[in-house]
Structure 1
């Protein structure tokens, strides 16, 4: 398995993983699936914002999973914090792909001078919650019934992880 920056050739795989999650899970709180032009525009926007999109490629070159991060919130005071997402192809979950993607994504966030990473995880997604705990994320709180999908209310668990030990934002990185 190879973890690398996403390329145009990866968009079919990314689209398929995203659409499977939309159709079959509560990991993505969207009801509509997307097409290739949508994912192409998404990848372009991520790149223009300076945010990574990583893929895990299987030995046969197919996309086994992907991960990215973006701004946590649009206000200046949050510029050291990112929120991420990570998705693994359904038939490959539980095999360490999510862990490898997240380790690479955390390294990218650190090299970009970020201080904290946030995860928003549907409360019933035990696998994702365990993965994030294994990576050192801590539960920060639960927002009850803030989303809906498949005719049910969904709770959102927020988890956070510090990426460095800087004593202040103006020390050892970007200010």
Structure 2
């Protein structure tokens, strides 16, 4: 069964929280230690959308298999055409192409919004995420060593980027 990609709504907050919390508990994909609840994700979702940023879900017959969003990369005016994204897929749905589909839709939204660069910040040891991003045209091998920590160890952060258009100036 193919997922339907759609904009998330408040009814998706609990599923988004569950996917997020699994990543917090079990992976180094999210560098937080604090779990979130449905109200937190609903507030996050509404704030993202109010700021004009998409939150997309992969819907499999009413079940949220994954979600993706982008937001500001840095808070200074000069970075307004650059965004950083996130994409997460529930453990039971991985390996089925949902992350790729979500990313393709997110990239299309960023291009339609007139954005110039999308940045990925990936835990350097996450080979699957690095490979996915490379297959989507992201480049770059800038690694910042030991800038994070989780599960009692230091984490390296790899930055990758995708140029969304070829305009010579803003």
Relative to the length of structure 2, the TM-score reads 0.97
The SS at the match of 1:18 is: helix
Q: Which residue of 1 aligns with 2:114?
A: 113
The SS at the match of 2:86 is: strand
Residue 140 of structure 1 deviates from its aligned partner by 4.1
CA distance in 2, matches of 1:35, 1:10: 12
Residue 95 of structure 1 deviates from its aligned partner by 1.0
- Number of aligned positions between the proteins: 168
The SS at the match of 2:96 is: coil
Relative to the length of structure 1, the TM-score reads 0.94
Q: Which residue of 1 aligns with 2:24?
A: 22
Residues 10-63 of structure 1 deviation map (CA, whole Å, 9 limit, x = unaligned): 1111010000000000000000110111111101110111100000001x2100
Q: Which residue of 1 aligns with 2:7?
A: 5
Q: Which residue of 2 aligns with 1:136?
A: 137
Residues 130-149 of structure 1 deviation map (CA, whole Å, 9 limit, x = unaligned): 10000000024000000000
Residues 109-162 of structure 1 deviation map (CA, whole Å, 9 limit, x = unaligned): 001100000000001111100100000000240000000000000000000000
Of 34, 48, 57, which aligns to 2:36? 34
CA distance in 2, matches of 1:98, 1:12: 19
Residues 45-104 of structure 1 deviation map (CA, whole Å, 9 limit, x = unaligned): 10111100000001x210000000001111111011000000001111111000000000
Q: Which residue of 2 aligns with 1:48?
A: 50
Instruction: Give the conservation status (yes or no) of the 8 Å contact 2:13–2:39.
Output: no
CA distance in 1, matches of 2:117, 2:104: 14
Runs of 4+ in 1 over 2 A off after TM superposition: none
CA distance in 2, matches of 1:9, 1:41: 12
Q: Over aligned residues, Cα RMSD in angstroms?
A: 0.7
Q: Structure 2: which 5+ runs fail to align?
A: none
The SS at the match of 1:124 is: coil
